Amino acid sequence: MKKVLSFLEEVKIEFKKVVWPGKKEVSSATISVIVFTVIVAFVLSLLDYFLSVGLQSLFK
């Protein structure tokens, strides 16, 4: 039990050293991730569609 308490104290000390991002930085990163995800989803959807059409016409 003593080791667990010691570990938790060390965790608390390390958390005080962390430099957390600001609200502006978090919102900017979140928007970037959402935009990138939408773009990748769109590209993959187009790729899936064209491969599907191509394979269907190939096997007809």
pLDDT tens per residue, range 19-37: 999 999 999 999 999 999 9
**Residue 2 or residue 10, greater confidence:** 10
Q: What is the pLDDT of residue 60?
A: 82
Residue 48 clears pLDDT 90, i.e. is over it: yes
- DSSP track, 1-60: -HHHHHHHHHHHHHHHH--PPPHHHHHHHHHHHHHHHHHHHHHHHHHHHHHHHHHHHH--
Provide the pLDDT for residue 51. Answer: 97
Q: Structure pTM?
A: 0.68
Q: What is the pLDDT of residue 33?
A: 99
Q: For residue 9, what are its two tokens? A: 């104290």
